[in-house]
Structure 1
Amino acid sequence: MVSPSPVLVVQNDPADPLGPLGDWLTAAGLTLDLRRPYLDDELDQLPATLGGHSGLLVLGGEMGANDDQVAPWLPQLRALLKAAVDDEVPTLGICLGGQLLASATGGEVGPSPEGPEFGAQLIAKRASSATDPLFKALPITPDVIQWHFDAVLELPPGAIQLASSPGCDIQAFRVGRVAWGTQFHIETTPEVVRAWATADAEALTGYDVERILARADAVHPDLAEVWAPFAAAFAGVVLDPSSVPKVRTVATQMADAITDPAEIRAALAMQMQAARPSGPVPIELLPPDAR
């Protein structure tokens, strides 16, 4: 099956290309409309709306999610991301793209409290990922590439956190029915990571850069094994958005059946009481910092 209309792909920085992710998506049946708004070319500018596009993919970049003076297309990109969530257009934001998704939908983005992350790292899936269309089939602690200074500090209202790590709490989330954001990268190649290390040489002072690069080189074959199926799962959502159930919370389910406010409050109280654990509260174990 081939997507009836292309997925809009936004490359925010020449140093962060689509890479193998583009190959995985096209192999899964998607057609892609790549825009590079940093170029002075009308064909690369962002569209006013997502009409004519079946999905939205936003890549990373060296600028911050609110650096509108550095990247004047960011306000329009945030508007497109907000519209995608509102209209349930399948969306994936990677690194800066994930931060923009969070910012556009009411989350908070800022300097990472734990400091920057560089190179190959492990993330840990949260229990909430068990039923997620994209994350449920992933290993519990998949390898990823990290390269960021900022992070999502607070999720948008109603968003579901899907993965975390000791170096950055919010590694992945889903907002709305079919929009996902990741802090980590899956689209890189060893050459791209080496170029980032050269560009950020000053920020890497004190790090074992050769070790970071060697580890990234070694991990990339594993990235393809894990994240190509993830890309195919996203393509499946683009091709058939109806395959993802509507997001229904306890509150919305009860609102369908109960109209009296007092009854709604009483029913919610009963749900909270039933959900309260009777024994020790389970905790999720995270892997040690792989830096």
Structure 2
Amino acid sequence: MRPASARVLVVQHEDKAPPGLLLPWLERAGLTCEVLPAHEGYALPATLTEHVALVVLGGSMSATDDREHRWLLPTRALITSVVAGGMPFLGICLGHQLATVALGGEVAAHPQGRTRGLLPWSPTPAGRTDPLTHVLDERDELLHWNGDVATVLPRSAEVLARAPDGTVQAVRLGARAWGVQFHPEVDADIVLGWTEGQQPEAEVAALHELRSRQDELHPAWERLLRRFGELASAPAALPA
């Protein structure tokens, strides 16, 4: 039985990338979330002692922009501690990239340019049976909004899905740790704040499609986040 006060620590990097639908969906899985806005100067813990899991959200900065964003280094250190300790972790977009770097991999600008829009879930055989990602169906579509991608994965990582261009879409980073390049936590109002005019046609098209289809898309995204909540509250170790 999960403790009544089970909480997830959610690290946020900027105002325009809030936890969004992550909060109600994890609450439906029986967990509560404590959001730590690291960009506002709040100190990150060295490890988790009062939380059952860690979620690290996306952001517009790169995973190694430590000089301009000084909380990224302690965020990577916290991720390392959580994954090494076998505690549940989910990295979303930048969070996935931070975990990749923290655990020994590499991240770089996407050689084909920025990705904006809905892409199909394209699992590997491992992704079809993984404790987290098996809840997604190959007909599901996921919102990608990123400029960087994981180019070298940590040695122990297992690819769970690849986007149509071959880049990593989802990865298992440890016994109870995952990274996803897409954004299962957003709605069109959040994504509106990400439009920068650098790729106006792609941005407008992606935003329009998300706004018109989000009622259709959200059930699959909710299944994924609620499944993470279930795994986060499970006391037993997961299968390798």
CA distance in 2, matches of 1:176, 1:99: 15
Of structures 1 and 2, the one with the larger relative CO (CA 8 A, separation 6+) is 2
Give the equivalent residue in structure 2 for 1:224.
218
In structure 1, runs of 5+ residues without a counterpart are: 248-291
In structure 2, runs of 5+ residues without a counterpart are: none
Mapped contact 1:5–1:31 kept (Cα < 8 A): yes
CA distance in 2, matches of 1:76, 1:208: 34
Mapped contact 1:93–1:182 kept (Cα < 8 A): yes
Q: Structure 1 residues 233 and 209 mapped into 2: Cα distance closer, same or farther (>3 Å)?
A: closer
- Please tell me whether residue 29 in structure 1 is matched to residue 24 in structure 2: no
Residue pairs, 1:39-50, within 5 angstroms: 39-40=40-41, 44-50=42-48
TM-score by structure 1 length?
Answer: 0.78
User: 2:222 is paired with a residue of what secondary structure?
Assistant: helix
Q: Deviations over 1:223-265 (max 9, x none)?
A: 32102121121111111141512x3xxxxxxxxxxxxxxxxxx
Q: Structure 1 residues 121 and 218 mapped into 2: Cα distance closer, same or farther (>3 Å)?
A: farther
Give the equivalent residue in structure 1 for 2:229.
235
Q: CA RMSD of the aligned region, Å?
A: 1.6
CA distance in 2, matches of 1:100, 1:208: 26
CA distance in 1, matches of 2:92, 2:127: 17
Give the strand-richer structure, 1 or 2. Answer: 2
Given residue 30 of structure 2, which amino acid in structure 1 is its aligned partner?
G
Given residue 14 of structure 2, which amino acid in structure 1 is its aligned partner?
D
Give the equivalent residue in structure 1 for 2:91.
93
Q: Structure 1 residues 208 and 75 mapped into 2: Cα distance closer, same or farther (>3 Å)?
A: closer
Give the equivalent residue in structure 1 for 2:120.
122
CA distance in 1, matches of 2:107, 2:229: 27
4+ residue runs over 4 A deviation: 1-4
Q: Structure 1 residues 73 and 118 mapped into 2: Cα distance closer, same or farther (>3 Å)?
A: same
CA distance in 1, matches of 2:184, 2:132: 13
| Identity in percent | 36
CA distance in 1, matches of 2:15, 2:6: 25
Give the equivalent residue in structure 1 for 2:6.
5
CA distance in 1, matches of 2:139, 2:154: 24
Greater Rg by CA: 1
Give the equivalent residue in structure 2 for 1:154.
152
Give the equivalent residue in structure 1 for 2:61.
63
Mapped contact 2:23–2:32 kept (Cα < 8 A): no
CA distance in 2, matches of 1:187, 1:168: 23
The 10-residue stretch of structure 1 (85-94 or 212-221) with the greater mean CA deviation from structure 2: 212-221
Give the equivalent residue in structure 2 for 1:133.
131
User: 2:193 is paired with a residue of what secondary structure?
Assistant: helix
Mapped contact 1:112–1:168 kept (Cα < 8 A): no
- Please tell me whether residue 18 in structure 1 is matched to residue 13 in structure 2: no
Aligned length: 239
Given residue 76 of structure 2, which amino acid in structure 1 is its aligned partner?
R
User: 1:216 is paired with a residue of what secondary structure?
Assistant: helix
TM-score by structure 2 length?
Answer: 0.94
Mapped contact 1:120–1:219 kept (Cα < 8 A): no
Residue pairs, 1:76-225, within 5 angstroms: 76-197=74-195, 200-201=196-197, 203-205=198-200, 207-225=201-219
